[in-house]
Chains A and B, each alone.
Chain A
């Protein structure tokens, strides 16, 4: 049973470009969470999705950021018109339940904005 898969591992974008981060949850997991880790900080919750639904996006910036988890395929975190402050590690986690005690994390995507 493969773990949570994130790709790419590293993503470099210039200011103003779009970044797409992908997350394939573990088999049988229908709950996906995105977290962001800024340098020298712990992880911060961004968004919680179930298949085809956004349950909680209270941690997402109001502009430029969006997330989806379609019926088929991976969850996508999309950042439009990236700025240098978006440079961070973005982690995806999946869970078989709606509660947070069985989270499995991916290895993350390191986004660098030039």
Chain B
């Protein structure tokens, strides 16, 4: 079965510093790949997604992610974080059907 791994449970970053969140998946084929953000008490908001084509994907709120087939990774990055980026981030995949398989999430704390 496919799986999604987010190795970092919690990351603390200073405001203005860069952020990178890791995501690895295990599956032979290339799935649809997503990053979602969940602010406290809120639902999930889609940041970006990758289906095919250019492996560097731009999303909302200044986020980007790069798909690397050789590493089965889809890491999320932001060059300069803002305090409002403090949230939980989920990587997810859809394979050949409609089910999203989510990683366990990475909680991002932003310090002043």
Interface residues on B, range: 20 to 34
**Once A and B bind, how many residue pairs between them come within 8 Å at the CB atom?**
62
A100 in contact with B44 given A41-B104, A43-B90, A43-B102 (CB within 8 Å): no
Which interface residue of B32, B43, B49, B103 has the most chain A CB atoms within 10 A? B43
Q: Mark B3-20, 1 if CB is under 8 A from A, else 0.
A: 010000000000000000
Q: Which residues of B in the span 21-60 have a Cβ within 8 Å of any Cβ on A? A: 32, 36, 41-46, 49, 51
Using CB atoms, name the residue of chain A closest to B102.
A42
Chain A to chain B: the 10 pairs with minimum beta-carbon distance, closest first: A42-B102, A100-B94, A107-B43, A105-B44, A100-B98, A105-B43, A43-B102, A45-B99, A42-B104, A106-B43
Known: A35-B100, A40-B104, A100-B100. 15 other contacts (CB 8 A): A31-B98, A42-B102, A45-B99, A45-B101, A48-B98, A93-B44, A98-B98, A100-B94, A100-B98, A101-B32, A101-B51, A106-B43, A107-B41, A107-B42, A108-B42
